[in-house]
């Protein structure tokens, strides 16, 4: 797993969130060649986690 993925799943764990469905990954490139990756991840509170 790449570092960004480890950071993402660490953040989800610290915020007591769990992935609840499939993810969507989009690769975007503009006319100047700049690029970005958008990752859509459906989440919900983990079981047993208290909500604020």
Distance (Å, whole) CA 51 – CA 18: 13
So what's the pLDDT on residue 29? 97
Strand 35-40, strand 24-29: pairing: antiparallel
So what's the pLDDT on residue 49? 64
The 10s digit of each residue's pLDDT in 1-52 is 578 889 999 999 999 999 999 999 999 999 999 999 888 999 999 987 665 5
Q: What is the pTM of this model?
A: 0.65
CB contact at 8 A, 20 and 42: yes
CB contact at 8 A, 10 and 40: no
């Amino acid at each position: 797993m790449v570092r960004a993925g480890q950071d993402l799943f660490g953040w989800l764990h610290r915020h007591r969130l769990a992935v609840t469905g499939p993810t969507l990954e989009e690769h975007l490139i503009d006319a100047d060649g700049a690029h970005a990756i958008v990752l859509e991840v459906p989440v919900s509170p983990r079981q047993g986690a208290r909500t604020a």
